[in-house]
Structure formats: structure tokens, C-alpha cells
Amino acid sequence: MSDLSQPTPEVALARRRAAGWGDLVLRQPLAVSGAAILFCMVLAALLAPAIAPIDPLFLDPLRRLRPPNEINWFGTDQFGRDVFSRVVYGSRVSLIVGASVAVLSIIIGLAIGLVAGYVRWLDVLVMRIMDGLMAIPGVLLAIALVSLSGASLLTVIVAITVPEVPRVVRLVRSVVLTVREEPYVEAAIAVGTRLPLILVRHVLPNSIPPLIVQATYVCASAMLTEAILSFLGAGTPPEIPSWGNMMAEGRLFFPIAPRIVLLPGIALALTILAVNVLGDGLRDRLDPKLAKRV
Amino acid sequence: MLAFIANRILSTIPVMAVVAFVVFLLLRLSPGDPAAVIAGDYATAEQVERIRSQLGLDLPIHTQFVSWLGRILRGDLGVSIFSNLPVTTLIAQRVEPTLMLALSTIVFSILVAVPLGVLAAWKANTWIDRAVMVFAVIGFSVPVFVLGYFLIYGFALGLNWFPVQGYRSPFDGLGQFARHIALPTLTLSAIFIALIARITRATVLEVLSEDYIRTARAKGQIERKVLFQHALKNAAVPIVTVIGLGIALLIGGVVVTESVFNIPGLGRLVVDAILKRDYPIIQGLILLFSFIYILLNLLIDITYTFLDPRIRY
């Protein structure tokens, strides 16, 4: 008969998992709450029609600038549109822009950074170009790009990606420069491994953890830039409800109805905070060297 | 020393060349005919033609770049399409509010953030430390314009301590100037304070574990001197670095803050120009901001060699 005091492997695994989750909450309460807030935001964005049944674009001239009531939880704006619906739908724009810019700039930055870090003659040229791009204020470059190529969600995403890429390139390059001096890379070269294989097998895995951390920061910064562009009038087209657009349109009525400006502002700040806190938690876990420095 | 400084100055030339090239390309990259875009939907063919020749768009592209670069190097940023005034004149008219806002923000941020960071490091892992760090994360996450509206709501509309919007020159009376610049400065400082306090805490914490700190304490040096003379002095380089990096944030923040508080500075000038597609102003101001960024970071690199004589490149 087996010893009953010893749990079966399945039970042990389940216990370890439960302990792992509890442990995570205890050790990184901020990061976990950030992830939870973000999860709710994603849920709200996906289920927007169910959560906010009033059409965010529906104009009701008879119900303009109403204070919060049982139909319009956050009241209505100067055109009689439901502010709650618009805030809920606004999460879609921020999340789409944040995620797309993060993925795009990581992919582009990774490709350029790997090549720059490994091909010496290209390195100088590429890094000078990146230094130049980084010297141009990102917000200004993005507004100029959007305004020159016409506002649409796609141009906003591309315009925000351009100033983010150099930062990713720098990060990837610095990883490449450290990894290429490692004995195992030297060994790989010695046995005749070709360059593409070295990059994929040795350099790439080393750059993944810092890149995941960087991706969260890029995402937060992209959501911020999108809101700034929309707020300044050169971002997401005004007919799409985004938090920046709502604040821009509501600012004239700020003294009468501050909630039209403040509520989307709170949603924006909360989302960016959640992503940043999640990023800090990931950094502490995935990239201890960086965590020590900052 | 001189060789290093000369070297560092020379290294900015390729960066500035890239900036100039990107700024030049901005106009050419836009789809369609830039002259037609500037002229608007209701322009006649002659008006489009006039703008085209005014901008030199009818010349081959390399000729355009060379002549444009030549004019930039002589300090000629061109003429605004809409107001017909030289861009340099427009910049000169608008530079004061922006400069005042930037200076007051930098001074205020450093005065608040450095003691806060030192305090957090000194009281590491206590509730004071945690409060400072939570504040830093929040300060870094709340967008400039969101914070601006909350401050207007609380301090201008609610308590009526400060005016809601506008700007007064310090040359027309310091009291009014201070009342008008207070909220914008507070708004723009939050992110800077967060950034500087965080790095100050991290580096001072590192320095506090050094042997010379133990020596200083062992010989009976008072704690204030240990913190501010021994620890802070040795933590100066990363703090100065982060202030340099923050210049980029500051420039972006100035543009937004000026819009929120209706301050007639360079930020408003560039936003208005972008919305109206006044290319010479857009190009001139992006060049100017990038140039300031490069110049300030150059100065910071040079101050390293004074702060830490071991640093040579």
C-alpha cells in the first residue's frame, strides 16, 4: 500500500500552482493588480455593446449636457451623446493603438537591431540614423506624420511607431553586443555555425525578456501619444470615440461640465498606470539586471 | 580634456544631418502634391502654382535639399505660408513663455525630486520610501493634459487660487507671472519629478552601501552631511543623465501644456502650424527643438567630465 501522507504528483502540482499564484500576488501586488485592471479594460473593449447599450455616436439634441442619471450613468456631452458609452468604446482605440504599436515597433526594432549589432559596417550608419530620429521630439514627429498623411487609425499607429523604433533598436543592439562576446557564441562560430543561425539560436532568446518588458513601456507610451495627438486635433479621426478626442471636444465646456473631460482622463490614466505597473513587475521578474539599475 | 570635448562636439554633426534630412523628407513623404495640400480644397491652379514655386517644389529634389540646407545653415528658416512672416521672427515672438515654463519646471522638479529621492533611499523599505515610489509610478502614468485639467478643476475653478488659463510676462510684474505659471509648472513637473526621484533613490541607495559611507559614519559625520555631501555627490552622474533624457519628455510636454493652459508659446505655434499645414513653421520648429535636445545632451556629456573626472570617452 502506498504512503498516504505523500500527495499524488497531480495534487502536488496543483498545490504548487496554487502556491505560485498566491505567492505572485503577495510578492508583486502592484503588477497583479495592474494585470487585473488591464484585463477588465480588454473585457470592456470586447464586450462594449453589452456593457454600454447606448450607441456612442447617437446624438440627442434634447438631452444635451445632462448630469449623470439612471439612463446616462456619466451624463451626456454637448451633443447629447452618452458619455459612459463613449468612455467604454474609447478603450478600444487606446488598446488597439497600444498593442499594435508595441508589436510593430518590437518586430521592426528587433530586425534592425539584430542586423546592426552583428554587421559592423552597418552598425555605425544605422545607429547614427537612430540617434537622429531620437533627437526629434516623438510627439511632434508623430503629429506631423499624421497631419501630413491624413488622419486614420492606421496612420496614427504608423506615426507613433516611427519614434518608438529607435529605442527598441538600441536595446536589441546592446543585448547583441554583450551576447556576441559570450563563450558559447565564440564556440558556435568556431564550429562553423552560420550567422543567421547564431542570431536565431543564441542572440534572439537573450533579447526576448528585455523586449517583453520594453513592449509594455512602448504600449503605455503609445496610448499616451495617441491621446495627445487626438487631444491636439491631429490624431484619431474625430468621428471615432477615443479618450483624447473626448477631452478635446469637451474642453470648451470644461467649466460647466468638467466630467466630460475628467472621466475619459481618468480612464486613460488608469489604463496607462496599469500597463506601467505590469511592466515594472515583469521587469523585476524577467530582467533583474535592469531592475537593479532603475 | 579639450580633445574629448572637440570630439564630442564633432559627433553631433552626423546626428544633426540626419535630423535635417528627416525634417526635409517630411514634406516630400506626404502623399499627393504638397502644394495642393497646403493650398486647400478650394484653391485655384494659380494659387497652387504660386505656393509650389514659393517652396521651390518645382526644382529637382537634390537641388531643393542643398538650397534648403544652405538657407538653414545661414539661419534662414523660411517664411510662413499663412502669415507671410519669417519663421525666425515668429519664433522670437513666442520663445519667452516656453522658455519660462521650461525653466520653472526644471528648477521646481529638481528642488522637489532630489530631496524626495534621497529621503526615499535613506528610509529605504519604510512607508516613506513606498509612498515616494507609488507617487513616482503615478506621476509617470498620469498624462500631462489629464493632470492639467484636474489641477484646473481643483485649484482654479474650485479653490480659485490661480487663473484658469493664460500667461503674463515676468517683465510686466512678477506676482501675476507667478500666479499664471504655477499650475502649468506643477502639471509639467509631475512626470519629471517622478523620473528624477526614482533615479535619485536608486543611485543613492547604491552609493549608501559603499565603504566610504561607512567610514564617514564611523568617524562620526552627521547624517545630513553623509547624505548630501558624500552620497548625493557620488550619485550625481546618473541624475544628470536622466535630466538630459527628460529634455525630450519636457519638449513633448511643453507642447501639450501650452495647449491646455492657452499659453502663447512655441508649442502652440507648432500645433497651430501643423493643423494648418504651414510647412516652413513645422520644419523650423522641429529643427529647433531637435537642435536644443542635441545641444543640451552635449552640454550634459561635457559636465560629466567635471562631475566625475574618471569619465573619458
**Predicted-complex ipTM score:** 0.79
Task: Decide: helix, strand or coil at residue A66.
Answer: coil
Residues of A in contact with B256 (CB under 8 A): 139, 228, 231-232
Interface test with A, best of B10, B12, B15 (most A CBs within 10 A): B15
Interface test with A, best of B10, B145, B196 (most A CBs within 10 A): B145
Q: Among A26-30, A37-41, A236-240, B92-96, which is the least confidently predicted range?
A: A26-30
Least confident of A14-23, A111-120, B98-107, B255-264: A14-23
Q: For residue B38, what pLDDT band results from cuts at 50, 70 and 90?
A: low
Phi, psi dihedral angles at B79 (to 5 degrees): -120, 135
Q: Where are the alpha helices (DSSP H) in A63-137?
A: 83-118, 120-135
Q: How far is CA B171 from CA B60, B167, B186, in A?
A: 48, 12, 21
Are the CB atoms for B35 and B55 separated by under 8 Å? yes
What phi and psi, each to the nearest 5 degrees, are found at residue B262?
A: 55, 50
pLDDT digits (tens, 9 = 90+) for B117-163: 888 878 777 888 888 888 888 888 888 888 888 887 777 777 777 67
A294 band by pLDDT with thresholds 50, 70 and 90: very low
Residue B263 DSSP SS3? coil
* Mean pLDDT value across residues B290-296: 86
Which residues of chain B make contact with A151, given a CB cutoff of 8 A?
none
CA B68 to chain centre: 26
Element counts in chain B: helices (H) and strands (E): 14, 0
CA-wise closest residue to A263 among A20, A34, A75, A42: A75
A257: chain B residues, CB-CB within 8 Å: none
pLDDT at A1 (0 to 100): 42
Across the interface, whether the CB atoms of B271 and A129 are under 8 A apart is answered: no
Q: What angle do CA B95, B100, B101 make, to 5 degrees?
A: 105
Residues of chain B with C-beta less than 8 angstroms from the C-beta of A247: 145-146, 149
More confident position, B39 or A271: A271
What angle do the packed helices A138-149 and B266-276 form, to 10 degrees? 20
In the block, cell 533579447 appears at A207
- For the cut 70, the answer to whether the pLDDT of residue A65 exceeds it is no
Q: Do B271 and A135 lie within an 8 Å CB cutoff?
A: no
| Cβ contacts of A270 within 8 Å, gap of 6 or more | A37
Calculate the CA B147 to chain-centre distance: 18
Residue B91 has pLDDT above 80, yes or no: yes
Q: How many residues does chain B have?
A: 313
d(CA A236, CA B271): 16
Q: Percentage of chain A surpassing pLDDT 70? A: 82
Mean of all residue pLDDT scores within chain B = 80
Mean pLDDT of A276-286: 82
Averaging pLDDT over each range in A115-129, B71-85, B147-161, which range is the top one? Answer: A115-129
Would you call A135 and B294 a contact, using CB atoms and an 8 Å cutoff? Answer: yes
Q: With both helix axes pointing from N to C terminus, report the angle between A120-135 and B279-307 in degrees, rounded to the nearest 10.
A: 110
- Roughly what angle, to the nearest 10 degrees, separates helices B279-307 and B2-29? 160
**What is the least distance, in Å, from the CA of B39 to any CA of chain A?**
13
Residue type present at position B14: P
Q: How far apart are CA B124 and CA B113, in angstroms?
A: 16
Q: How do residues B235-263 score in pLDDT, each as one tens digit?
A: 777 778 787 777 777 888 888 888 888 88
Residue B309, CA distances (Å) to B3, B23, B235, B303, B304 in order = 15, 37, 14, 10, 8
Neighbours of B74 (CB within 10 A): 8
**Whole-number pLDDT of residue A6:** 58
Nearest to B249 by CA among B191, B208, B202, B201: B191
Q: What is the share, in percent, of chain B residues with pLDDT greater than 90?
A: 0
